[in-house]
Amino acid sequence: MKTQRRYSRGKPTTKKKFDHSSNKSGGPSRHRGRKGPELNISSFINKADNSNVKEEVFVADNAFADFALSPKVLNAIKNQGYTAPTPIQDKVIKPILLGKDVVGLANTGTGKTAAFLIPLVEGILQDDNKRILIVTPTRELAVQIDQELKRIANGMSIYSAICIGGENMNGQIRRLKQKNHFVIGTPGRLMDLLKRKALILNQLTTVVLDEADRMLDMGFIKDIQFIMSYMPREKQTLCFSATMSKKIEALINNFLKDPITISVRNAITPKNIEQDIVKIKDKKRVDVLYDLLQQEEFSKVLVFGRTRHGVENLSRTLARRGLRVESIHGNKSQTQRSRALLKFKRNNVQALIATDVAARGLHVDDITHVINYELPENYDDYIHRIGRTGRGVCKGKALTFVN
């Protein structure tokens, strides 16, 4: 039987059998009193040896040309390097073009953003009066959607406005007074703009609720209800989520009309992410992390902590030891977070230290490792964290520190 690798005290060793006996949270002592379900550490690990299992190769039912897209859009798709639709693109582009309400269930890194942007851009080329609102859980995701929109709609005279917290509101109000086909924003800032009557939604034709499960987990349900109350009854609603929870079902029942539900989710734990634990024994947790980051294979690492203060302290400690690191958390301004994320994307830093909330919707290519320096609150958060690596067809590794 093929041996598995376990990381202990920063140095990999081999073992023949994994110990599944631990079911404690394993986090630092200051978190042990927190309420909530304890995590079963054994559920984090890839226990099966899939080395002899043939992966099923997806073959799209459609080519992009089959969707009757305009030459401009087809050319933009080609320039983006898209050769064939991903599973979610293959299934949702046509119903979106037809104006249907859609619920899309897909894992992260599956081309979901392009899946709704491509048909929405096409719709605007056919009717310049269409107006679209995209609601996202985080500022970073809003910025990334806008960047992808600009790539797809390059040279098409399609305009957008970003409305997110942490940025100057007066500048956003001025931008909203201009022509915008797309408004992309986070719930809190969109609510503020609606209350100021700076954002007018009575001409809205389509609303996209992106990463809806995350927005609900972050307590945005009342914000979403408030925003939706300003929209016309007749509109197209698109809801994208990684999970179909009771909360999502309630959201769908309240806001979507006869939706088409399309699920292209893989197994809850992606097969292309190798998972293991790092046992913290007689060394300090920060020393173990430092030892790992000294290894050549840890070239682009996302490290998760649980608190803003802890993340900032960890980042400063590693920086003092000579490592190239940055941090993102709620205490940082949007400008600081954007700057840190850009450095990470451009490989100017080796590691990005983040809290769960700050990393919602964070899409960065080629992350080699995700390290759970501190345990997440629950299993859903764990799945979200490790999904930052192994995106699409790429391979990734996720390590979880336990006592």
Give per-residue pLDDT as tens, 15-30: 333 233 333 333 333 3
Is pLDDT above 70 for 54?
Answer: no
Mean pLDDT (the chain, rounded) = 83
Burial of 177 (0-12, 13-18, 19+ CB in 10 A): exposed
Q: Strand 369-372 to strand 396-402: parallel, antiparallel, or no bridges (unpaired)?
A: parallel
Total structural domains in the chain? 2
pLDDT for 47 beyond 80: no
The mean pLDDT value for 45-71 works out to 66
Q: Which domain holds residue 297?
A: 4-53+271-402
Tell me the sheet residues that pair with 275.
Answer: 398
Extended strands (E) in 267-349: 273-279, 301-304, 325-328
Least trusted range by pLDDT, from 6-10, 177-181, 347-351: 6-10
pTM: 0.66
Residue 229 pLDDT > 80, yes or no? yes
> What confidence category does residue 2 fall into, taking pLDDT thresholds of 50, 70 and 90?
very low
Mark whether 82 and 155 lie in a shared domain: yes
The residue among 239, 263, 287 that closes a domain is 263
Give CA–CA dist 268/123, Å, rounded.
Answer: 33
What single-letter DSSP state applies at residue 13?
Answer: E
61 versus 77: which is more confidently predicted?
77
Please identify, among 263, 297, 320, the residue that sits at the C-terminal boundary of a domain. Answer: 263
Q: What CATH number is associated with residue 242?
A: 3.40.50.300
Statement to judge: residues 294 and 251 lie in one domain: no
* Tens-place pLDDT, residues 325-348: 999 998 888 788 889 999 999 999
Residues 149 and 251 in one domain: yes
- Which of 263, 292, 321 is a domain's end point? 263
**Residue 9: which pLDDT band, with cuts at 50, 70 and 90?**
very low
Residue 207 lies in a domain: yes
Q: Please give the pLDDT value at position 45.
A: 52
What b/e string do you get for 149-166 counting C-beta neighbours within 10 Å, with b at 16 or more? beebbeebebebbbbbbe
pLDDT of residue 402: 87
Same domain, 208 and 123: yes
Judge whether residue 31 has pLDDT over 50.
Answer: no
